Amino acid sequence: MSENSPKAPRWAIWLPLALFAGFVALVGYNIARPASRDVPSRLIGQPLPAFDLPAVAEGRPGLSRSHMTDGKPRLLNLFASWCIPCAAESPQLAALAAQGAEIDGIAVRDHKDDLAAFLARNGNPYTRIGGDDVSAVQMAIGSSGVPETFVIDGKGIIRYQHIGDVRPEDVPLLLQKLREAGQ
Amino acid sequence: MKRLLLILALGLASPMQADDTMPPAPYAYRQLDNAQLEAKAQALMVTIRCLTCQSQSIADSDASLAGDMRNQIRQRIAAGEDPEAIRAWLIARYGDYITYAPRVTAITWPLFAAPLLLLALAGLLLRRRFKGEAS
């Protein structure tokens, strides 16, 4: 350095240590706080993409976008017979249906006989069930797993997404989102 | 004898399956016949995050959703779609998290600008220093 460069103040010697301590604190904070692994869909507020899924369950017609634009808000539940949390949320879906929610289902990568056994065991709250054998509709709506539950308004706009199984404490919120979607 | 029985029991026990039994989608594990198109698909697939195993790419993952994504990507590329258009389609649904290829956005631009700024600063400091020595 040239002679006329100003001398650093004495406390500056602690700066690197303070920087390091700050770094450790940041890392520690983020390690202690469990990060969310959820990947939310970016299509909230956007219309459902066009799709047409075949019927896969006895007595339940298939599901297409046109069924979801009849003016009535509804729940769209992605599930599968091979998914254990999907069985765990069935009492909550039954409760939602009992309180007037219309629930359409998309069965992801499911066999008809497995699905029939699943519905016989856990109940069938669905109005319609479409089979999504290559997860195409799941990808098209930005869903990253099962179970997931979307609130769709009467015009087919996605209003809300619930990731993971519906727990008893989630039921009032989903009913509220359905009411909001109906306004 | 007891130990042998235990080992036998271990072999007979079936682990609880939490995965589907559907056969993989047509192009989940099958390459495209056209090598050029397959290379294009592969280049995209190694930069798309698997949503089930979130530190893997869909090219590395055996999760069924990753298989279905490979299937869709291969079929769309075979149909003539541009890989970057497919990436944009996925980002529109899952956000930047789905792609491993960094993008310059309103949030990420400092990451790209900072090295350039630091280089410029270093250059400036060095110039002053060399000038000081010359005089």
pLDDT tens digit sequence for A40-74:
999 999 999 999 999 999 999 999 999 999 999 99
Nearest-10 Cα torsion for A23, A29, A33, A39: -30
**Is there a contact between A130 and A56 (Cβ–Cβ < 8 Å)?**
yes
Predicted-complex ipTM score: 0.85
pLDDT of residue B16: 47
Q: Are B92 and A43 inside 8 Å of each other by CB?
A: yes
Write the CA distances from B26 to A131, B32, B64, B82, B92, integer angstroms: 17, 10, 12, 21, 25
Q: What is the rounded end-to-end Cα distance, in angstroms, of chain A?
A: 71
Q: Tell how strand A158-163 and strand A148-152 pair up.
A: antiparallel
- Tokens 């303070």 correspond to A18
Range from A150-154, B52-56, B74-78 carrying the lowest mean pLDDT: B52-56
- The reported pTM is 0.82
Q: H helices within chain A, ranges in order?
A: 15-32, 84-88, 90-98, 112-122, 136-140, 171-182
Nearest-10 Cα torsion for A169, A172, A174, A178: 180
pLDDT of residue A146: 93
Shortest CA distance to B96 belongs to which of A94, A51, A42? A42
Q: Are B20 and A138 inside 8 Å of each other by CB?
A: no
Q: Between B21 and A171, whose confidence is greater?
A: A171
Over 90: is that where the pLDDT of B18 sits?
A: no
Residue A60 has which token pair?
A: 């339940």
- CB of B22 within 8 Å of a chain A CB? The answer is yes
Q: Which of residues 76-105 of B touch A (CB under 8 A)?
A: 90-95, 97-98
Alpha carbon A16 to its chain centroid, in Å, reads 44
Buried b / exposed e along B84-112 (16+ C-beta atoms within 10 A) = eebbebbbebbeeebbeeeeeeeeeeeee
What average pLDDT does this structure show over B69-96? 97
Minimum-distance CB partner of B72 among A2, A82, A139: A139
Q: By three-state DSSP, how is residue B95 classified?
A: coil
Low-confidence ranges of chain A (pLDDT < 50): 1-2
Residue A142 backbone class (left: φ over 0; alpha: ψ -120 to 50; beta: rest): left
- Please report residues of A whose CB lies closer than 8 A to that of B25: 133-134
Summarised one tens digit per residue, pLDDT across range B35-47 is: 999 999 999 999 9
Over 80: is that where the pLDDT of B107 sits?
A: yes
Over 90: is that where the pLDDT of B1 sits?
A: no
Q: Are B92 and A40 inside 8 Å of each other by CB?
A: no
Q: How far is A110 from chain B (nearest CA, A)?
A: 7
Q: How far is A7 from chain B (nearest CA, A)?
A: 16
Residue B9: pLDDT band with limits 50, 70, 90: low
Shortest CA distance to A44 belongs to which of A152, A146, A145, A137? A152
Calpha distance A177→A163 (Å, rounded):
14
pLDDT of residue B120: 97
Over 70: is that where the pLDDT of B26 sits?
A: yes
